[in-house]
């Protein structure tokens, strides 16, 4: 068995956008398995993206994530014990494998520790490096004056001490959720409650259901639940139920045998087999065909399923997280969704608020998107005041997804500051262009319209009446008097 070992480096984090050192080596090598080490939990999501890429392009390769926790990736005292323990664990599982180690992903300190591990005899491995100029090349240090690295008793004693310190660090990392929770941007009361639910539900095994309008970020929430859970190193596989053909849904979910149907020229594993030990995220579960709802219920009850064309039942240990932008209870009443499945997936429910109800969270999210795209495109853009004002005025019916598209479009313009004219909002801007329709019977402004704005202003200002009055252009005493009259 040929095994590839590497850290996940910053250049490996976007496998579908650019090829980093990890994918470069995997594309050229003939590997059966790859262990990707991570020093911090922020690399779990990129690790899953690499795994997803490999399932598509290298179907015979199994990718596993291996913790080597070190908060400071340049501290040899933390790195070496963490890598030593990780390599020992991998070798224990695969003692007879042939190993290849990459010296190109991660920090220079990580590269040096790989050399210490290999030249010190902890692991017998071929070392390779990747560069733009020469591609992949082997590193062998076949030099007469290269120093011999030995593991003497003093080094082992020091290693024991450092390993013990790193165990304490590992315990802290296990409880540290700032990385994953930090990906859920927002500090309004509703989002703070959502974050608390995510922390609470992550440690359980019950199914989790997420309700939210289209584009509110349900998949980000599902990822946070997975990566904060004990299943974090196992696969996280999202699937949009509405995008799966009803005729191929069973094969997509449970796999099929060779010859099971026309076009089935080989055996194929479904998402539940690929996700064994991990999590499957079923987005838009309301669109799941009725016959698949029955089969999913069986998986939820005992973890068993039957591939198409097989007479043999298989088992997978998978946690289900589902989501919908429709109220499933209404669909149950209309007989469009199975009631028994409804109760099985509703064990733990999270409701994501739409972007228009999140106040200044909108600017926090926009700022985060700008920073993220600056990192990807190596730019130094920032949101100008006029752009921020325009973003705050928009209703955002498409929620976070619409905001992301707008920010991406703004990045095509030159200059470092994003101005209002760079914020292209497609469709209706509800704050400026919405058509006003007055009922034939008329309306009472003081009863039907203005109270909604009073309540919205209070909500936006966290209940502060003085700030709410200023937001509406009213004197504080006038605003308070109007509130009393409601």
> Which H or E run includes 469?
helix 465-471
3-state SS assignment for residue 96: coil
Q: How confident is the model at residue 71 (pLDDT cuts 50, 70, 90)?
A: confident
Domains of the chain, residue spans: 2-175, 178-353, 358-422, 445-484
The two tokens of residue 131 are 């560069």
The pLDDT tens digits of the residues spanning 80-95 come to 989 999 999 999 999 9
The pLDDT of 376-400, averaged and rounded, is 91
Q: Could you give the angle at which helices 399-410 and 361-377 cross, rounded to 10 degrees?
A: 50
Enumerate residues 6+ apart whose C-beta is below 8 A from 84.
117, 122, 159, 163
Q: Which phi and psi (to 5°) does residue 451 adopt?
A: -60, -30
Give the Cα separation of 195 and 180 in Å (integer).
Answer: 10
Give the Cα separation of 53 and 31 in Å (integer).
Answer: 15
The pLDDT tens digits of the residues spanning 178-196 come to 567 778 898 899 999 999 9
3-state SS assignment for residue 16: coil
The pLDDT of 251-262, averaged and rounded, is 90
Residue 164 has pLDDT above 70, yes or no: no
Q: What percent of the chain has pLDDT over 90?
A: 56
Give the Cα separation of 271 and 241 in Å (integer).
Answer: 12
Q: What's the topology of domain 445-484?
A: Arc Repressor Mutant, subunit A (1.10.10)
Better pLDDT: 267 or 176? 267
- Domain at 358-422: CATH code: 1.10.8.60
Give the Cα separation of 264 and 252 in Å (integer).
Answer: 12
DSSP lists the bridge partners of residue 37 as: 7, 66
Q: Decide if 2-175 and 445-484 have a common fold.
A: no
Give the pLDDT confidence score for residue 172 in this predicted structure. Answer: 47
Residue 432 has pLDDT above 70, yes or no: no
How remote is the C-alpha of 249 from its chain's centroid? 24
Torsion, CA 411, CA 414, CA 418, CA 422, rounded to 10: -70
Give the Cα separation of 192 and 184 in Å (integer).
Answer: 10
The pLDDT tens digits of the residues spanning 267-303 come to 889 999 999 999 999 999 999 988 899 999 999 988 9
CATH 3.40.50.300: does it fit domain 178-353? yes
Give the pLDDT confidence score for residue 466 in this predicted structure. Answer: 85
Give the pLDDT confidence score for residue 277 in this predicted structure. Answer: 95
Helix residue spans in 182-305 (DSSP H) = 189-202, 218-227, 249-254, 271-274, 290-302
Give the pLDDT confidence score for residue 145 in this predicted structure. Answer: 59
Class of domain 2-175: alpha beta
The pLDDT of 397-404, averaged and rounded, is 92
């Amino acid at each position: 068995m040929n095994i590839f070992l590497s850290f996940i480096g910053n250049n490996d984090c976007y496998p579908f956008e650019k090829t980093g050192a990890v994918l470069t080596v995997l594309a050229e090598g003939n590997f059966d398995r790859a262990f990707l080490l991570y020093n911090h939990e922020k690399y779990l999501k990129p690790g899953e993206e690499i795994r997803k890429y490999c399932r598509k392009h290298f179907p015979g390769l199994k990718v596993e994530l291996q913790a080597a926790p070190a908060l400071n990736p340049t501290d040899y005292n933390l790195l070496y014990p963490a890598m030593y323990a990780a390599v020992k664990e991998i070798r224990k599982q695969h003692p007879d494998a042939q190993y290849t180690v990459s010296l190109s992903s991660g920090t220079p300190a990580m590269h040096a520790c790989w050399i210490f591990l290999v030249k010190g005899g902890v692991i017998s491995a071929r070392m390779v490096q990747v560069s733009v100029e020469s591609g992949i090349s082997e590193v062998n240090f076949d030099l007469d004056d290269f120093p011999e690295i030995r593991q003497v008793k003093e080094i082992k004693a020091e290693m024991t001490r450092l390993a013990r310190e790193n165990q304490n660090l590992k315990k802290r990392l296990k409880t540290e959720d700032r990385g994953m929770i930090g990906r859920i941007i927002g500090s309004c009361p509703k989002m703070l409650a959502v974050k608390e639910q995510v922390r609470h539900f992550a440690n359980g095994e019950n199914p989790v259901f997420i309700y939210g309008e289209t584009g509110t970020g349900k998949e980000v929430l599902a990822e946070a639940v997975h990566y904060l859970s004990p299943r974090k190193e196992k696969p996280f596989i999202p699937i949009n139920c509405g995008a799966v053909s009803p005729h191929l849904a069973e094969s997509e979910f449970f796999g099929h045998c060779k010859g099971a149907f026309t076009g089935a020229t080989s055996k194929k594993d479904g998402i539940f087999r690929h996700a064994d030990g991990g999590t499957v995220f079923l987005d838009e579960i309301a669109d799941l065909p009725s016959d698949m709802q029955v089969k999913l219920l069986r998986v939820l009850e005992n973890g068993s399923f039957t591939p198409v064309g097989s007479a043999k039942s298989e088992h997978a240990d998978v946690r289900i997280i589902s989501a919908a932008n429709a109220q499933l209870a209404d669909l149950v009443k209309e007989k469009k969704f199975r009631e028994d499945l409804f109760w099985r997936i509703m064990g733990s429910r999270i409701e994501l608020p739409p972007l228009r109800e999140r106040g200044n969270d909108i600017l926090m999210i926009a700022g985060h998107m700008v920073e993220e795209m600056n990192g990807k495109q190596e730019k130094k853009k920032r949101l100008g005041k006029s752009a921020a004002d325009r973003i705050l005025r928009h209703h955002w019916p498409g929620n976070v997804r619409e905001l992301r598209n707008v920010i991406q479009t703004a990045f095509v313009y030159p200059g470092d500051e994003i101005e209002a004219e760079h914020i292209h909002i497609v469709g209706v801007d509800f704050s400026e262009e919405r058509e006003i329709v007055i009922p034939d019977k008329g309306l009472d402004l003081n009863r039907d319209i203005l109270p909604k704005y009073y309540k919205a202003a209070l909500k936006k200002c966290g209940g502060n009446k003085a700030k709410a009055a200023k937001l509406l252009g009213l004197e504080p005493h006038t605003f308070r008097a109007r509130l009393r009259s409601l």
